[in-house]
Amino acid sequence: MQKENCIFCKIANHEIPSHKVFENEEVLAFLDLSQVTKGHTLVIPKQHADNVYDLSSESAQAVFATIPEISRALQQETGAAGMNLLSNTGKVAGQSVSHFHLHLIPRHDKHDGFGAKWEVHNEEYTAEELATIAESIKNRL
Ligand code: AMP
Ligand code: ZN
C-alpha cells in the first residue's frame, strides 16, 4: 500500500526519480540525496510503513534480506573500512521521512562525516536491575 503524499512511496512507485542501486518486487535501494559519505544508501520496503513499529515482518524480512549484498557492493565500490546501518524512528531520534528506511553509511574513519554519540551509563544499572528490565521487556513479547 502506498501512502498519499509520501515521498518514498513516490520514489518506490517511480513517480519521482532516484539514483537507484537495487530493486526487486518488495524493496528499493537508492542513494540518499544528502550523502554523508560516498555511497550513502537508503533501503526501503515498497509497501508503506511509517517506521519500525509499523513495519510488517514480511517487509522487514524483504528489506534485511537485501542488506548483505548491497553492503558488499558498497564496500567494494567505495573501499570503505566499515559500515553503519541506521534507522531513525521518531523525531527525537532524527527521523525526517515517515516511511521506514535503513541508512547504509560506508565508513572510512572517525572523522568522515558520520558520528553517533554513545554515552554509557553502566553505573546506573546493576545486574539485578538489568535482569528486571530484560524480564519486563520479555513479558511484552
Ligand atoms: P531520516 O532523517 O533518517 O528520516 O532520513 C531521511 C533521509 O532521506 C535524509 O537523509 C534525506 O537526505 C533523504 N531524502 C529525502 N528526500 C530524498 C529524495 N528525494 N531522494 C533521496 N533521498 C532523500
Ligand atoms: Zn511511504
Q: Residue 40 catalytic?
A: no
Domain tally, the chain: 1
Distance CA(70)–CA(140), nearest Å, equals: 33
CB of 92 closer than 6 angstroms to any ligand 1 atom: no
Give residue 81's domain range: 7-116
Q: Residue with C-alpha cell 553502566?
A: 122
Residue 121 lies in a domain: no
Q: Tell me what pLDDT residue 70 has.
A: 98
Q: In what order do the strands lie in the sheet with 20-23?
A: 20-23, 27-31, 41-45, 102-107, 82-86
pLDDT tens digits in sequence order for the chain, 141 residues long:
789 999 999 999 999 999 999 999 999 999 999 999 999 999 999 999 999 999 999 999 999 999 999 999 999 999 999 999 999 999 999 999 999 999 999 999 999 999 988 899 988 999 999 999 999 999 999
Catalytic residue among 40, 48, 99, 101: 101
Q: Which of 28, 30, 34 to mutate to test ligand 1, by most ligand atoms within 8 A of the CB atom?
A: 34
Distance CA(27)–CA(38), nearest Å, equals: 21
Residue 20 lies in a domain: yes
Q: For residue 99, what is the domain's CATH number?
A: 3.30.428.10
